[in-house]
Every structure is written in structure tokens, then in C-alpha cells.
Amino acid sequence: MTEQHADEAAVLEVRDLEVRFPVRRGLLGRPASWVYAVNDVSLDLYRGETLGLVGESGSGKSTVGRAIVRVNQPSKGAIRLDGQDLLALHGTRLRPFRRRVQMVFQDPYASLDPRQSVGQALAEPLRVHGLAAGRRAARVAELLELVGLDPSFAARYPHQFSGGQRQRIGIARALAVEPDVIVCDEPVSALDVSIQAQVVNLLAGLQRQLGIAYLFIAHDLAVVRHLAHRVAVMYLGSIVETGPSEAVYGDPRHPYTTALLSAVPVPDAVVEKTRRRTILRGDIPSPENPPTGCLFHTRCPLRDMLGSPEVCSTKRPPLQALTPGHHRTAHHVACHFADDPRARRTAADVAGSLTADQPR
């Protein structure tokens, strides 16, 4: 992992990001209501680090990634790259930004044009941004070697590759324009477990070699643990806990994080049989009609344990620092009872069952 410095400025800053989608009803198709897929999300990403963004399906994590690369248009907030507000840029003024922030998509087949050869797919971003003029074929060969593929594969088409090879091609395409930041939207979830490890190791090696920053979006906390320096946990469009990976995995403070960690399988049959599970009741609420107060209170086992305090259903808890210091190293939690001893005991049981012999 790349050495980090707490006083270093973030390469990418996201502030109070909101993304909403209209729900249209009736013959005229006018918006009858809005779905708030992302609500007041703030993130910092530093050079050479990986920030893991995790949560259930429907939590809004992929929408955050797509908003950062401007696939989805935010309705509020700021996205700054080295201090420049990217939401103020449009049209051709966005092109330099698109070179610096790239994306690797979840489906390695759907994200590649089946009519283009691999060589054409990798050369296209070079042509669009005016790079490697006169030596694009050589640059395509370099990119394929960089991701562990034979340069002769440039003449082949996507259907001729396995899922893992196609994802390597997607990574090579993102690397073609030498970005500072890569948004990885569940890049290994569609792959076999053995191939997942290879792709994760490839991403880690490329980060050490090139100093790239990753926003790594995933629902698999075991995968994120191997790659991320810091972790942000999302629930119903908002961040409920964030901090260094050691803090979030070793001392989870939000009951939702505790529930997610309790679902991570442990490669020890004895431990797996006896470990504590946190079972959440019901389904994630609709973002069209979110709960009042704490967004998690309708499913929260800690609230039940504490006798359903009124504050949980009436007041939304802010994301507050539990530990002093730079926000890059601090542990933040949005919970009214993050320091309650009963919550700490439950979290300690879950964290303790994630055995130390699992390498990070």
C-alpha cells in the first residue's frame, strides 16, 4: 500500500452530494415525487489510496460513482478535482476532467462494444484525447502487458475472452488516458472467486506502480478489506460510518455496519458455527418515502435493545467524529448511541469473530 500523509490535500472532494430521480405518473408524465438515491454524501479521496464504498443493493453507492464521472447529473452539491468545481463544467470543458477520472464498470461484457476489437477499444480514448499520436498500436500493446494480457490479443473481440480477461481489458481502457482517479463500480462481483482475487491483486499492484486513487464500490466487505485504506458505509443514500479500514472492521460503531460484518463468512468452521449474527428485520425502505429521524431506525436491532428511544425516530443523527485528529484518519459515525456499552459489546463480538488470520 502507498504511504499516506494526513496533511495532504485530497485529489477528489465530494461535498453534500444529492442525486434524485423523478417518479412520473399520469398521461403527461410530470414528476409526482422524487427518489433521493443519494442524499448529502461527502467524501474525500487522496492520491494513491483506496476508499471502499460499501452497502446493500439499493443503498446508492453506484449512483455516487456515476455522479462523480457525470453519468448521472447531481441535483445538489459539489465535486472538486484538485480544488476545481467539476459541476460548473459542461461540454468540451469537461474533456480534461474525463481524462483524469475514469471508471471500470461491473459487467465486463456489457461495457465493451462487441463490434470493436480490443485494439480499437483501447485506442479510442487515445484518439479522443489526442494521446500517443503515431504510436497508438505500441501504446495498446503496453496497456495489455500492464494488465497481464498478451499484446497479440489486440486483434480479438470481447466475445473471445473470459469474464476475468474482459475485466482486465476494461481496466486497461481506464488506464489508457493515465487518470488520477478510477471509480471501480463492483468490478469483481460478476467474476468467479478465484478470478476476483487475481483482479484485486492486479488493482493493488497498479496502484503501487502508478499511484492511482480508487473509489472501490462493492457490497462484499471481504473483498474491500483486502484493498481499501479507508471504508465508507452507505445506507439508503447516506453515509452512516466512515473511517480507516482497521477502525471500521475492528471496532464498528454503527449497528448497520455491525450487521454487514456479521454476514461476512469466516474460513473457520468452528468459529463460523459459534459466531454472533446480527439479523435485520424487514427490507430497506423506499428512497421515495424514507423514514423520519435516523434512516436505519426501522430495522435497527440496537434501537430495539435500548427500548425504542424516541430520538431515533424523530432526529436524524449527524455524521460525527468519534476520534480526534485529521478527518482522513478519524472514525465518523451517524448514530445517537454509538458509545452505548451494549452496542459496543455487540460490535466487539462481531469484530472478534472476524479472525486475525484473514490477511488485509
pLDDT band at 16 (very low <50, low <70, confident <90, very high): very high
Most distant CA pair in the chain: distance in Å? 70
| CB atoms inside a 10 Å sphere around CB 117 | 17
Residue 255 lies in a domain: yes
Q: Which residues pair with 242 in a beta bridge?
A: 232, 332
Q: What is the pLDDT of residue 124?
A: 96
Tens of pLDDT, residue by residue over 73-87, are 999 999 999 999 999
Tens of pLDDT, residue by residue over 163-215, are 999 999 999 999 999 999 999 999 998 888 889 999 999 999 999 999 999 99
Q: What percent of the chain has pLDDT over 90?
A: 63
85 is written with which cell numbers? 468545481
Q: What is the pLDDT of residue 184?
A: 96
Q: How many domains does the chain have?
A: 1
What is the per-residue DSSP string for 48-83?
T-EEEEE--TTSSHHHHHHHHTTSSPPSEEEEEETT
Residue 207 lies in a domain: no
Tens of pLDDT, residue by residue over 283-340, are 888 888 899 999 999 999 888 888 889 999 999 999 999 877 777 889 999 999 988 8
Q: Let me know: does 284 contact 56? Beta carbons within 8 Å.
A: yes
Residue 132 lies in a domain: no
Within 13 Å and on the Cβ side, how many CA atoms surround 340? 14
Q: What is the pLDDT of residue 348?
A: 61
Q: What is the pLDDT of residue 284?
A: 85
Residue 301 lies in a domain: yes
Residue 36 lies in a domain: no
**pTM to 2 decimal places:** 0.90
213 is written with which cell numbers? 486513487
Q: What is the pLDDT of residue 3?
A: 46
- CA-CA distances (angstroms) from residue 21 to 24, 34, 77, 96, 324? 9, 6, 15, 27, 37
Residue 296 lies in a domain: yes
Q: Let me know: does 203 contact 39? Beta carbons within 8 Å.
A: no
Q: What is the mean pLDDT of residues 138-150?
A: 96
Residue 299 lies in a domain: yes
Higher pLDDT, 139 or 3: 139
pLDDT band at 275 (very low <50, low <70, confident <90, very high): low
User: For residues 218 and 106, what is the distance between their CA atoms, to the nearest angstrom?
Assistant: 10
Q: What is the pLDDT of residue 262?
A: 85
Q: What is the pLDDT of residue 355?
A: 45
16 is written with which cell numbers? 453534500
DSSP secondary-structure letter at 279?
Answer: P
Q: What is the pLDDT of residue 354?
A: 56
295 lies in which domain range? Answer: 244-360
- Write down the mean pLDDT value for the chain: 88
Residue 321 lies in a domain: yes
Tens of pLDDT, residue by residue over 226-257, are 899 999 999 999 999 999 999 999 899 999 99
User: For residues 218 and 208, what is the distance between their CA atoms, to the nearest angstrom?
Assistant: 21
- Write a three-state SS string for 127-181: HHCCCCCCCHHHHHHHHHHHCCCCHHHHHCCHHHCCHHHHHHHHHHHHHCCCCCE
The alpha-helical segments, DSSP class H, found in the chain are 61-68, 95-100, 118-128, 136-146, 163-175, 193-210, 221-227, 245-250, 255-262, 269-274, 301-305, 310-314, 341-353
